[in-house]
Structure 1
Amino acid sequence: MTDEEKLVPESEDQEEQVKPNFEESVQADIVEITQGAANHIQAKEVILRQAGATHIESNLVHVRQGGVVKVETDRLELTEGGVIFANSGSVEMTASKAAVIVNQGNVNMDQCGVQVLVTKGNVQVDQSGIVATIANHVTLENNSNVVFLFAKNVDGEVKTQFGPKESALFGIMAGLAAGVVLLSGAMFGKKRKKK
Structure 2
Amino acid sequence: MNLSQEQINFLNHSIRDIPDFPKPGIIFKDITTLLSNKDAYALLMNHLYEKYSSYNLTHIAGIDARGFIFGAALAQMLGIGFVPIRKKGKLPYTTVSEKYSLEYGVDEVEIHIDAFTQVEHPKVLLIDDLIATGGTAYAAANLINKVGAECVEACFIMGLTFLDGQSKLKTLTNVYTVIGVD
- The answer to which structure has the higher helix fraction is 2
- The answer to which structure has the higher strand fraction is 1
Judge same fold: TM > 0.5, yes or no: no
Category of TM-score, reference length = shorter chain: under 0.3
TM-score with structure 1 setting the length: 0.23
